[in-house]
Amino acid sequence: MKILKSATVLTVFLLSGFFGTAQAQGRPIHEIHSMMIYNFIKYIQWPSSDQSQNFVIAVIGDDEVYNTLNTWYGGKLRGNKKFVVKKFGSPSEISECHILYVAKGSSKDFDTIKGQLANKSTLIITDKPGLGEKGSGINFRTVNNKLAFELNQKVIEESRLKVSGQLSSMAILI
């Protein structure tokens, strides 16, 4: 019942046009991206072999998203794991993480970043047209003046992640 309720909330949240409404009311895009990153976590399953004590969300190229994620979610629990939010200044700093948000400003380094995370169960989330096709798991994009997201199923499978059908049904599949 809890899964059905969560799926219903996500569906209503995404279909209600929240993104366009939130932007119209002046909610900054970094807050919207932060909320969505957190909500994606609820609908993605990482391999059970992951024995780490923390669930690491990392950001490269956007201090506002990093600060928002850290303020809102840093230290909270996900099951028995604590959320830890990290900021990387360059691709060479990238270390183990469950999610890496690559902001537009760092998209020029996308190929290097992707190479750093090859064969790891890391969800790469981007915010630049074309990066979904190029290999990010989720890519934000604007459709009809509303925020939407692309889901690259092949990349998700290669990362050994499992995405719920509810999240897939809300995405632009590529």
pLDDT digits (tens, 9 = 90+) for 58-76: 999 999 999 999 999 999 9
Domains of the chain are 2-173 (3.40.50)
Contact 148, 169 (CB under 8 A): no
pLDDT digits (tens, 9 = 90+) for 108-128: 999 999 999 999 999 999 999
Contact 141, 104 (CB under 8 A): no
CA dist., res. 173 & res. 132, Å (int): 9
- For residue 150, which phi and psi values (nearest 5 degrees)? -95, 150
For residue 22, what pLDDT band results from cuts at 50, 70 and 90? very low
Q: pTM here?
A: 0.85
Q: How far is CA 136 from CA 70, 121, 126, 142, in A?
A: 22, 12, 6, 16
146 conformational bin, left if phi > 0, alpha if psi -120 to 50, beta if neither:
beta
**Strands 172-173 and 146-151, bridge-based pairing:** parallel
Q: How many alpha carbons fall within 13 Å on the CB side of residue 149?
A: 26
Three-state SS for 12-39 is HHHHCCHHHHHHHCCCCHHHHHHHHHHH
For residue 151, what pLDDT band results from cuts at 50, 70 and 90? very high
